Structure 1
Amino acid sequence: MLRRHLFELKPLAVLHRARTAALLCFVFGFSYIILYRAFDSCQIRLPEYLVTSTEVFSSALSFNSLPDSDDTSLETVLKAAAMHDNTVIVTTLNEAWADPNNSILDLFLTSFRLGFHTSRLLNHLVIITLDQKAFATCKRVHKHCFALTTEGVDFSQEAYFMTPDYLKMMWRRIDFLRSVLEMGYNFLFTDADIMWFRDPFPHFYPDADFQIACDHYSGNSTDVFTNIPNGGFSFVRSNIRSIEFYKYWYSSRMVYPDMHDQDVLNNIKKDAIVTDLNLNLRFLDTTYFGGFCEPSKDMEKVCTMHANCCVGLENKVHDLKIMLQDWKNFMALPSNMKSSLSPTWSPPKNCSHALLRHLGLPDEDELRDENHETFS
């Protein structure tokens, strides 16, 4: 009898529990609506750097809907190219620099193949393309390509130095590289107008968070006052210090409007926040990492040479071809003659003219013409 009574009570207990569950769902649901409306009415916003981080990261991952392409998500591309320690080599490319008729990209890739033990590093190179034509070109000549675009901005054409498009491109690059760090990858960033002649990794400081090449090197790798950094070549390790530094660097564009990333870096490298972050910042010796501004004087030590202090794509291409020929001539020498002859780089031709014209100064040919006209 007792068993029968208990059996009859079970449906009542189940009904009671169901009513309780429904009541709890209603209470929690109603509370959520109230909190959501309150949050929205207060117009609470995330800090700017977090909003930027989310926007850049999502845009970087979203532009992958190219027809007939493989899986080209950022994570996939970085993982495929990464070294054993999660390091990738990264460069950026747009249509103008990928143009087969005037290609910085061809010269860049050729330098890896002509360099001393550098061809294997192509396995770890990720080319970040800024438009669809550059992406298509990349896919034809290289295996690690990622398509990154900025909504409402066309980066396909040559961005002339210090024009609004140039500045947007440079800052887009800085913010994107920060997202690479946040994903846990170290990167060696290289401009595509840098020729690779030797493996640079043995010449990096093992304990540095951020190390960068220079337009001018003072002789002291820790000198933040007289070293003049060049943003076209940097090796950065992924950690909280480097990530916070990149956020600060990017946000500093608001403090220094109309400046490009390199000049802003030159201004903030002495800021107290860099010290507070405990960032180990090093500058790289132009003996190993030279350029037109300050060439490496020893071909037996040089790792990279940059077409810096040069304005104009055609000027860069012209003089980089001369540089590559200098390297071919050097590599063709017998080993004993490489040291005894002490070969040097040919002086830049078009780039020296272009820089002087950009600064409003006469070059040697113009001075020679003026002298000829004066004394003839």
Structure 2
Amino acid sequence: MAMSRFQRRMEEKAATRMFALGVFVLAGIVFPCTAIFVYVQFIGLPAFVGSFLHPMEAAINERFAKSEQGSGVLELRSVLEKAAMVDNTVILTTLNEAWAAPGSVFDLFLESFRIGEHTSGLLKHLVIIALDEKAYERCKFKHVNCYALKTEGVDFSAEKRFMTADYLKMVWRRIDFLRIVLEIGYNFIFTDADVMWFRDPVPFLATHDSDFQIACDLFNGDPDDMSNRVNGGFKFVRSNERTKLFYKFWYESRDSYPGLHDQDVLNFIKVDQYLRDVGLTFKLLPTVKFGGICQPSRDFDQVCTMHANCCVGLVDKLNDLRVIIEDWRMYRGLPVSLKNTHQSKWRIPQKCRIPTIITRTPDISN
């Protein structure tokens, strides 16, 4: 039977509607995919990933605020804002009761700032993260910028021997906290309290635009060579989407390397493809400026910091830190004419015993 004109028109309209629907669905798929491709190509993967972080950041801050009894974020923001440099950079260290006690590491740490070159003014930018109540009380007595970091069900007050269960909890709690600092928009120089500050490192750190700069136990002269063994006791980190993703990845990687501390895990993941994918830029700091017991700085005229690394046990650390302080005082006391001709050398280690896996090769950097 011949199709009526009305039936033909109805079928034509139905076909038109189906075609339009198909075009609409296809556009709904193709356009977002094209937009994403163009955004990633010309703006970058980290910015694209970061565009989804605002709800995540709110959730992280909410979780952190709850864990800090509801006022942690506001209090932390207040302390950081008070201490921040003009570029939103703060200096951070963590402290527990054992290291905060009179005559212990904390006193030597503060003393190094006072006797260093152009370092006393940095104290106003230093925030002490107290891991227990006694450390917080001691900080309030000695310093102006203190923050109490609470961890439910864990006592961080006593000396935490290297690689014990409580030690691992403490260092991973620190990594998670530093991620929060980045999330709320602050760059930071993190320093262990057993790092002595003898010269302002900020001008040197500012010469590089890297996202993440970190000290080394051993340095072979190449700041881009990832075979250098990193040390998490001193690092400068800029707050951006790449470092936020990096710190999240670093913290979550503890599950992939059970029983290891943050520094050893970093030595594994520093070459991970993920960090290249997010575009993180990584720079290794020379020991001539950021030295330690593993590989002391060979030049008193350049040294910025000295770290009691490669040393296990509070008593031994304190002994060799005092030797480091004494050596610096002797150098500072030399007349200018003698400083130019006298080859000052560190007397360490005295009590600290460098592990046999560490080879103290010379730092060949300039």
1:55 to 51, 54, 63: 63
| Mapped partners of 1:58, 1:217: distance in 2 | 42
Of residues 90, 93, 97, the one that matches 1:88 is: 90
Contact 1:60 1:74 in 2 (8 A): no
Report deviation, 1:57.
4.9
Partner SS for 2:216: strand
Determine the C-alpha separation between the residues in 1 that align with 2:279 and 2:313.
38
Q: Is 1:341 matched with 2:349?
A: no
Q: In 2, distance between residues paired with 1:52 and 1:76?
A: 18
Equivalences, count: 303
Alpha-carbon displacement from aligned partner over 1:255-308 (angstroms, at most 9, x marks no partner) = 000000000000000000010011010000001000000110000000000000
Specify the SS of the correspondent of 1:188: strand
Which runs of 5 or more structure 1 residues have no equivalent in the other structure? 1-46, 65-70, 361-376
State the 4+ residue runs in structure 1 displaced beyond 6 angstroms. Answer: 47-53
Q: Which residue of 1 aligns with 2:221?
A: 219
Query: How many Å separate the matches in 2 of 1:249 and 1:48?
Result: 17
- Summarize the Cα distance change of 1:130–1:342 in structure 2 as closer, same or farther, 3 Å threshold: same
SS at the partner of 1:343? Answer: coil
Structure 1 residue aligned with 2:79 = 77
Aligned letter for 1:249?
A: W
Deviation at 1:161, TM superposition (A): 0.2
CA 1:189/1:60 → structure 2, altered by over 3 Å: closer, same or farther?
farther
Match of 1:40 in 2: none
Are the counterparts in 2 of residues 57 and 176 from structure 1 also a CA contact under 8 Å?
Answer: no
CA 1:72 to 1:244, structure 2 compared with 1: closer, same or farther past 3 Å?
closer
**1:87-120 deviation digits (Å, cap 9, x = unpaired):** 00000000000111x4100000000000001000
- Give the 5 Å matches for 1:121-200: 121-200=122-201
Structure 2 vs 1, CA of residues 50 and 161 (structure 1 numbering), >3 Å: closer, same or farther?
farther
**Counterparts of 1:202 and 1:56 in 2: how far apart (Å)?**
33
Q: Which structure is larger by alpha-carbon Rg, 1 or 2? A: 1
Tell me by how many angstroms 1:58 deviates.
Answer: 3.8
Partner of 2:99: 97
Residue 62 of structure 1: CA displacement?
Answer: 4.1
Contact 1:185 1:237 in 2 (8 A): yes
Pairwise mapping of residues 238-257 of structure 1 onto structure 2 (< 5 A)? 238-257=239-258
- State TM-score, norm by structure 1: 0.77
> What secondary structure sits across from 1:253 in the alignment?
helix
Q: How many Å apart are 1:59 and its aligned residue?
A: 2.6
Unaligned stretches of 5+ residues in structure 2:
1-54, 358-366
Deviations 1:126-155 (Å, cap 9, x if unpaired)?
000000110000000000000001100000
The 10-residue stretch of structure 1 (215-224 or 319-328) with the greater mean CA deviation from structure 2 = 215-224
Answer yes or no: is the 8 Å Cα contact 1:90–1:190 preserved in 2.
Answer: yes
Deviation, structure 1 residue 202: 1.5
State the match for 1:18 in structure 2: none
Contact 1:188 1:236 in 2 (8 A): yes
Q: Distance in 2 between matches of 1:299 and 1:113?
A: 17
Change (3 A) 1:272 1:336: same
AA of the residue aligned to 2:111? T
In structure 2, what is the equivalent of residue 351 of structure 1? 352
Matching of residue 230 in structure 1 with residue 231 in structure 2 = yes
Identity of aligned residues (%): 56
CA distance in 1, matches of 2:57, 2:181: 15
